[in-house]
Structure 1
Amino acid sequence: MTAKETELRRMTIKDVARHIGVSTATISNAFNRPDQLSVELRERILNECKNLGYRSPGLAPRSPRPGRTGVIGVVLSDCLSYNLKDCVANQFLTGLTEELDKAQLSMLMLSAKEIDSGCQFRQHEAMVDGFIVYGQMNNRQAHEQLLRQRKQLVSVDCIIEDSSSIQSDNFGGALVSARHALTHQPQRVAVLGLRLIDSRHVCRVYDPCELFDETESISVQRLRGYNAAFTERNRQLLHDNIWNIPVNNHACAQQAAREALLCTPRPELLLCMSDTIAIAALQEAQKLGIRIPEDLKIVGFDGIPEALSCYPSLTTVYQNSIEKGRQAGRLFLGNTDTQQIMLSTELLIGGSCPRPSP
């Protein structure tokens, strides 16, 4: 061990406080009670400590075991009401709470918008043992706030640097579903995508450069799967036939579906990035007198119960969102050694895009 390393190892909290010019209580609060300091002061202290090689004895570096409070913060990319109503998000939360109940832990649900407020986030950070982040994190400020926190972090359906992650095989599921749909040899195909670009409006995606990075967006991963299926058949999926739907709800999906179905020539296949979108497209087609599957074939993604009970039933990609929630809980609690988990998907063939006739 060098003399420098020995000196750093011997540094006490008093030495660090003296070097930075603050009290020992302020140093302790920077590590253990972030709600007591301003963002600027805490960041300065943490950066100085990092440069000095000092780590608070009371700070456990992202331990896979829960810490002092017994509360897990769950950061949701959408508003709380949406996640309680959305079937996929609801299933995820069901699986997650099963694991937390077993461990006798509590859950604090937060929306990504709440992370924007530095003061509010510091209060939340002090209340929880760590965070599980669910959904596409396009909020850069919230993303950076989460990176700065010094607690256990698990990301679900998104990628956050230096964190464990879990997601479904979005590329593979989309690839298999598009392969199946293209066996019907449709001439005109449209994609009803979900959050492909940074826009709050239903619109077409004319410029591929506008797409989110695929590490940030499961929808772009699905689009890449669709494109791969087209490439296998020496075909190209045109960007002016791709719609961006900003919110996974019936109203936005209905608008996009109607725009696509009123195009001339009309699509013969709709590849939908959620079952909510696919169901809205199916209903809109029926209003327009379009026969399914004779005139139009529809493929969804998610495998929610409504997809199987509608008429005709949807052909869709099933992802086990309840199991995803369970796995996220186990990953956070350290009940698995795997740090990056990819869950398989399954193609469910329904009446909206059946197998081709022999």
Structure 2
Amino acid sequence: MARTKRATLKSIASDLGVTHTSVSNAYNNPAKVSKALRDRIIAHARSVNYEGPNPAARSLRTGRCGAIGVLFNDPLSYAFTDPHDIAFLRGISSVCEDEGANIVLIPLQNKRPQQRDQLAAIVDGFILNAPYRSHPTIRQALARELPTVVVDFDAPALSSVLTNDRASMQAVVAHLLALGHRHIAIVTFPREEGAGDVRSLADDFSDESHVVHERIEGCRAALDAAGIARASVPVCETPNSEDGGRRTAGWLLHRRPDLTALVCFSDRLAHGAIAGAGALGLAVPDALSVTGFDGVELPGGAPAALRLTTVRQNAWEKGRRAAEILLRPRDVDAGAVVIPAEFVVGDTTGPARDARGR
């Protein structure tokens, strides 16, 4: 039995007595053919079970695949559980929906690096979301010289979307100093891949992570102005999660019972630190003040017992602006876009224990 010959662009053009280009335009550039001709082509194509040009072949021909890659430091599940990153991706997707673009999530923490690098090879451009500067995949992505927008990352040659991290953190620490706090510790997510050290504010903090570097500098500026020695301020690195904040706060408070304030570099770390303090019988803010950064709701939407003193940044707007710059370069100004964050005083900070009654 003879096999039925598969329909192609050329066979459809022959059947209808039109050019191969007209059939191609009906799928790829509909504005170049009349509506009547396009409807005629599509109707005939469906009648012979032709669903359109092969996407892989079209990608090879045009050099485009209709997808952007979003690279981030954490495991894939983090993008679906972290409130900041969820809002950030929602901002990106709001533009992608309008532009008909797809999103490829590329986590740098991947047990199969080869798979990660394969994903990075099938996109038309990148959004780098606060990545570690020297990670091999980041270097490879930049070397490809595709359209790229960086977020919370310092790359002067590329368009960027930033938050005023340094000034915001300086405001947080200045607030604590005004309340009389002099025994302060910092809880941060890792400054570089695999890091998890206990250091002091006097140590060197490279700019491997732009966010950590800028927030550390903000803390230094406020503490230096108050005459507090950097070496007296511990800095603990831990995974950016409630559990990381809880464990780190317990460790710190056990070894430094004189501490009266914890400066956390995310709200997730701050909520965990509050739980860790509570497990030791330390009430917030009476016995310990805690600050965060992000201004996001707890995962799962559970209400917090206390409103965090935090820095509220607009993650959705950061994602939206990054996607606009990448996908609508003619409509927006490139360069550095700064989306200011807002310092918000909540219920988790109060006068230091040894400052009350002065």
Match of 1:233 in 2: 226
Question: How many angstroms apart in 2 are the aligned matches of 1:87 and 1:120?
Answer: 23
Is 2:274 the counterpart of 1:319? no
Question: How many angstroms apart in 1 are the aligned matches of 2:189 and 2:82?
Answer: 14
- Summarize the alignment of residues 111-130 of structure 1 with structure 2, pairs less than 5 Å apart: 111-112=107-108, 121=117, 124-125=120-121, 127-130=122-125
Match of 2:153 in 1: 158
- Aligned partner letter, 2:226: R
Shift of 1:354: 4.8
2:298 touches 2:304 (CA, 8 Å); kept in 1? yes
1:250 is aligned, of 237, 242, 245, to 242
Shift of 1:240: 5.5
Task: Pick closer, same or farther for the CA change 1:265–1:287 going to 2, 3 Å.
Answer: closer
1:155 touches 1:166 (CA, 8 Å); kept in 2? yes
* TM-score of the superposed pair, with normalisation by structure 1: 0.73
- Aligned partner letter, 2:308: L
1:195 is aligned, of 190, 193, 196, to 190
Match of 2:39 in 1: none
Count matched residues.
289
Alpha-carbon displacement from aligned partner over 1:208-258 (angstroms, at most 9, x marks no partner): 5552226x320121111011111222223336511112x201222222110
Task: Pick closer, same or farther for the CA change 1:319–1:139 going to 2, 3 Å.
Answer: same
Task: Pick closer, same or farther for the CA change 1:140–1:275 going to 2, 3 Å.
Answer: same
Question: How many angstroms apart in 1 are the aligned matches of 2:124 and 2:111?
Answer: 16
1:75 is aligned, of 71, 76, 79, to 71
1:165 touches 1:340 (CA, 8 Å); kept in 2? yes
- Aligned partner letter, 1:153: T
Task: Pick closer, same or farther for the CA change 1:278–1:117 going to 2, 3 Å.
Answer: closer
Question: How many angstroms apart in 1 are the aligned matches of 2:113 and 2:287?
Answer: 50
2:70 touches 2:127 (CA, 8 Å); kept in 1? yes
Question: How many angstroms apart in 1 are the aligned matches of 2:98 and 2:198?
Answer: 46
Is 2:196 the counterpart of 1:205? no
Task: Pick closer, same or farther for the CA change 1:101–1:345 going to 2, 3 Å.
Answer: same
5+ residue gaps in structure 2?
A: 1-61
- Aligned partner letter, 1:328: A
SS at match of 2:298: helix
2:215 is aligned, of 205, 222, 228, to 222
5+ residue gaps in structure 1?
A: 1-65
Shift of 1:145: 0.5
Task: Pick closer, same or farther for the CA change 1:185–1:89 going to 2, 3 Å.
Answer: same
Is 2:292 the counterpart of 1:300? yes
Task: Pick closer, same or farther for the CA change 1:287–1:324 going to 2, 3 Å.
Answer: same
Is 2:133 the counterpart of 1:141? no
* TM-score of the superposed pair, with normalisation by structure 2: 0.73
Task: Pick closer, same or farther for the CA change 1:143–1:315 going to 2, 3 Å.
Answer: same
Question: How many angstroms apart in 2 are the aligned matches of 1:175 and 1:167?
Answer: 16
Give the stretch that moved more between structures: 234-243 or 168-177: 234-243
Larger Rg: 2
- Aligned partner letter, 1:104: G
Question: How many angstroms apart in 1 are the aligned matches of 2:270 and 2:96?
Answer: 33
- Aligned partner letter, 1:97: S
**Percent of aligned pairs sharing the same letter:** 24
- Aligned partner letter, 1:262: H
Question: How many angstroms apart in 2 are the aligned matches of 1:121 and 1:281?
Answer: 36
- Aligned partner letter, 1:331: I
Question: How many angstroms apart in 2 are the aligned matches of 1:325 and 1:213?
Answer: 22
- Aligned partner letter, 1:242: V
SS at match of 2:148: strand
Question: How many angstroms apart in 1 are the aligned matches of 2:111 and 2:120?
Answer: 9
Question: How many angstroms apart in 2 are the aligned matches of 1:79 and 1:139?
Answer: 18
Question: How many angstroms apart in 1 are the aligned matches of 2:270 and 2:162?
Answer: 21
1:186 is aligned, of 181, 187, 196, to 181
- Aligned partner letter, 2:318: K
- Summarize the alignment of residues 79-98 of structure 1 with structure 2, pairs less than 5 Å apart: 79-98=75-94
Task: Pick closer, same or farther for the CA change 1:209–1:297 going to 2, 3 Å.
Answer: closer
Task: Pick closer, same or farther for the CA change 1:209–1:285 going to 2, 3 Å.
Answer: closer
SS at match of 1:260: helix
Alpha-carbon displacement from aligned partner over 1:17-65 (angstroms, at most 9, x marks no partner): xxxxxxxxxxxxxxxxxxxxxxxxxxxxxxxxxxxxxxxxxxxxxxxxx
- Summarize the alignment of residues 24-63 of structure 1 with structure 2, pairs less than 5 Å apart: none
RMSD: 2.8
